[in-house]
């Protein structure tokens, strides 16, 4: 009988998507083949402390997180600069990590850097690739460099914000503009603006989440289409899915995604022309390769009324909740939830081995 793999599931985090991550972790845990994996849990609290496996299981099994955190934090030696991550050292035989931390410190390359220092395989993209995929400004620069169509935008920071106002932006981008923090996920801090007052109020709010704000061109009456990508050097693409949000909503909001999806219509797989399907698939795979992504990504597209697709966002650690599109698209494409997790773990080992071979084969100049 083969020895079980010891997998550690990292979830939570100190971003606005903390609770979403917890729901994703539950779904992954439930779908995993327990005959193949022993599973340890590490909850990252809202203030960035990694709880022990035992404490994380208590929260996972329904105990109030705040109560568990209040009990566990005094046990840590705060004079130790590694206090926040010291609990990872208590489980020494972990074979592979599965981070499912959405947003800051999880999707931006931070946790990937820690796992790289620990010399452990992990699911998903590497440090640089995660950081590029998370930063909407850098993503767009890479898309433009590789000729992949996306919406026009201008970057606003505290240093140049006085150079821009609504009238000046609307001359470049059109009368409807979206403001987006560059480093936030799941529609957090996003605003639709159509006049100067809305622009000023929305920009002020967006700066609460990041110091880089994208002012982005709106597409008139777009359809929102999604595609899931799986793989390392030779990625494959799922079928396409569509999202239709309530008419009162300007875009696919945080609440639509994670709180109440009852008014959102999912069409999986969606019927589109062969031409559009092929173009979106090619664009998605091209973006995945251009950013050097590994393991997985969900890529969002906006399609104009004349069937022109624009790549919207790249999500390198997509949600795995019961209404998340990434696993649903693969289910519709013939890969079950359990098989999807198995494939992602194998891809993690493949990428770890590839990097190890590069380091082993490297010969410095004499």
Mean pLDDT of 202-216: 95
Tell whether 205 and 227 lie within a shared domain. no
Tell me which residue of 166, 131, 172 sits closest to 151, measured CA to CA: 172
Tell me the C-alpha distance between 121 and 4, whole Å.
16
Within-domain flag for 26: yes
* pLDDT of 156 strictly over 90: yes
CA 342 to centroid of chain Cα atoms: 19
State pLDDT tens for residues 16-30. Answer: 889 999 999 999 999
**pLDDT for the residue 256:** 46
Q: How confident is the model at residue 360 (pLDDT cuts 50, 70, 90)?
A: low
Mean pLDDT of 187-200: 92
Confirm if 120 and 114 have CB atoms less than 8 A apart.
no
Q: Tell me the average pLDDT of the chain.
A: 91
State pLDDT tens for residues 134-149. Answer: 999 999 999 999 999 9
- Structural domain ending residue among the three candidates 217, 243, 270: 217
Tell me which residue of 302, 321, 335 sits closest to 228, measured CA to CA: 335
Mean pLDDT of 214-230: 95
**pLDDT for the residue 17:** 87
CA 1 to centroid of chain Cα atoms: 36
Name the helix (H) or strand (E) containing 71.
Answer: helix 65-72
The structural domain count of the chain equals 3
Within-domain flag for 131: no
**pLDDT for the residue 105:** 84
Q: How confident is the model at residue 264 (pLDDT cuts 50, 70, 90)?
A: confident
Tell whether 82 and 189 lie within a shared domain. no
- CATH number of the CATH domain containing 158: 3.30.1490.20
Tell whether 325 and 250 lie within a shared domain. yes
Interstrand relation of 265-267 and 309-315 (parallel, antiparallel or unpaired): unpaired
- CATH number of the CATH domain containing 115: 3.40.50.20
Phi, psi of 294 (to 5 degrees): -135, 150
- Which whole-number Å values give the CA distances from 357 to 130, 353, 360, 363, in the listed order? 22, 6, 5, 12
Q: How confident is the model at residue 243 (pLDDT cuts 50, 70, 90)?
A: confident
Tell whether 192 and 75 lie within a shared domain. no
Mean pLDDT of 162-169: 96
Sequence-distant (≥ 6) Cβ neighbours of residue 122 within 8 angstroms: 96, 97, 98, 99, 112, 115, 348, 352
Tell whether 253 and 156 lie within a shared domain. no
Mean pLDDT of 33-54: 95
CA 359 to centroid of chain Cα atoms: 28
Tell whether 227 and 280 lie within a shared domain. yes
- Structural domain ending residue among the three candidates 161, 190, 217: 217
Residues in the chain: 366
Tell me the C-alpha distance between 179 and 214, whole Å.
6
State pLDDT tens for residues 59-116. Answer: 999 999 999 999 999 999 989 999 999 999 888 799 999 999 988 888 999 999 999 9
Q: Which residues are catalytic?
A: 17, 186, 324
Q: Is 41 helix (H, G, I), strand (E, B) or coil?
A: strand
**Could you tell me what percent of the chain has a pLDDT over 90?**
82
Name the helix (H) or strand (E) containing 332.
Answer: helix 325-332
255 marked as binding residue: no
* pLDDT of 335 strictly over 90: yes
Within-domain flag for 110: yes
HEC letters along 265-318? EEECCCCCCHHHHHHHHHHHHHHHHHCCCCEEEEEEEEECCCCCEEEEEEECCC
Within-domain flag for 112: yes
- Which whole-number Å values give the CA distances from 282 to 70, 90, 157, 233, 276, in the listed order? 49, 44, 33, 15, 10
Tell me the C-alpha distance between 229 and 227, whole Å.
7
Tell whether 254 and 171 lie within a shared domain. no
195 marked as binding residue: no
Within-domain flag for 56: yes
**pLDDT for the residue 15:** 83
Tell me the C-alpha distance between 39 and 301, whole Å.
35
Tell me the C-alpha distance between 290 and 349, whole Å.
22
Q: How confident is the model at residue 258 (pLDDT cuts 50, 70, 90)?
A: very low
Within-domain flag for 365: no
Find where tokens 């609440």 sit. Answer: 255
- Structural domain ending residue among the three candidates 193, 217, 241: 217
Tell whether 204 and 112 lie within a shared domain. no
* pLDDT of 53 strictly over 60: yes
Within-domain flag for 132: no
Tell whether 187 and 267 lie within a shared domain. no
Name the helix (H) or strand (E) containing 167.
Answer: helix 166-173
* pLDDT of 250 strictly over 80: no
Task: Say how many C-beta atoms besides its own lie within 10 A of residue 54's C-beta.
Answer: 13
State the Rg of the chain over Cα.
21
Within-domain flag for 141: no
- CATH number of the CATH domain containing 307: 3.30.470.20
Q: What order of strands is seen across the sheet that includes strand 37-44?
A: 37-44, 5-12, 96-99
Q: How confident is the model at residue 252 (pLDDT cuts 50, 70, 90)?
A: very low
Tell me the C-alpha distance between 176 and 216, whole Å.
9
Tell me which residue of 83, 75, 23 sits closest to 47, measured CA to CA: 83
Tell whether 233 and 328 lie within a shared domain. yes
- Domain holding 260, by residue range, is 220-351
Interstrand relation of 236-244 and 265-267 (parallel, antiparallel or unpaired): antiparallel
Largest CA distance in the chain: 69
Tell whether 205 and 225 lie within a shared domain. no
300 marked as binding residue: yes
Phi, psi of 3 (to 5 degrees): -70, 140
Tell whether 226 and 335 lie within a shared domain. yes
């Amino acid at each position: 009988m083969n020895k079980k793999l010891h997998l550690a599931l990292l979830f939570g985090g100190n971003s606005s998507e903390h609770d979403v991550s917890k729901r994703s972790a539950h779904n992954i845990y439930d779908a995993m083949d327990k005959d193949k994996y022993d599973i340890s849990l590490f909850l990252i609290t809202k203030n960035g402390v990694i709880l022990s496996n035992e404490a994380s299981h208590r929260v996972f099994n329904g105990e109030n997180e705040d109560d568990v955190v209040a009990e566990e934090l005094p046990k840590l030696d705060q004079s130790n600069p590694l206090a926040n991550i010291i609990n990872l050292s208590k489980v020494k035989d972990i074979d592979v990590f599965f981070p499912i931390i959405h947003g800051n410190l999880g999707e931006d390359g931070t946790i990937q850097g820690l796992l790289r220092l620990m010399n452990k395989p992990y699911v998903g993209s590497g440090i640089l690739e995660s950081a590029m995929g998370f930063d909407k400004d850098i993503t767009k620069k890479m898309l433009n460099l590789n000729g992949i169509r996306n919406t026009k935008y201008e970057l606003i920071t505290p240093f140049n914000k006085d150079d821009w106002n609504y009238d000046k932006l609307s001359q470049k981008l059109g009368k409807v503009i979206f403001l987006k923090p560059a480093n936030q996920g799941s529609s957090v801090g996003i605003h639709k603006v159509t006049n100067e007052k809305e622009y000023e109020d929305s920009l002020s709010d967006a700066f609460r989440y990041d110091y880089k704000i994208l002012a982005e061109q709106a597409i008139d009456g777009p359809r929102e289409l999604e595609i899931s990508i799986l793989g390392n050097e030779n990625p494959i693409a799922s079928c396409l899915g569509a999202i239709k949000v309530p008419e009162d909503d300007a875009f696919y909001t945080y609440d639509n995604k994670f709180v109440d999806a009852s008014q959102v219509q999912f069409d999986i797989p969606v019927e589109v022309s062969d031409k559009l399907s092929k173009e979106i698939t090619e664009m998605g795979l091209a973006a995945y390769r251009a950013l050097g992504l590994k393991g997985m990504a969900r890529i969002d597209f906006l399609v104009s009324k004349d069937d022109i697709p624009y790549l919207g966002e790249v999500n390198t650690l997509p949600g795995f909740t019961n209404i998340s599109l990434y696993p649903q698209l693969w289910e519709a494409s013939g890969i079950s939830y359990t098989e999807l997790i198995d494939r992602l773990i194998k891809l993690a080992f493949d990428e770890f081995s590839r990097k190890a071979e590069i380091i082993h084969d490297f010969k410095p100049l004499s």
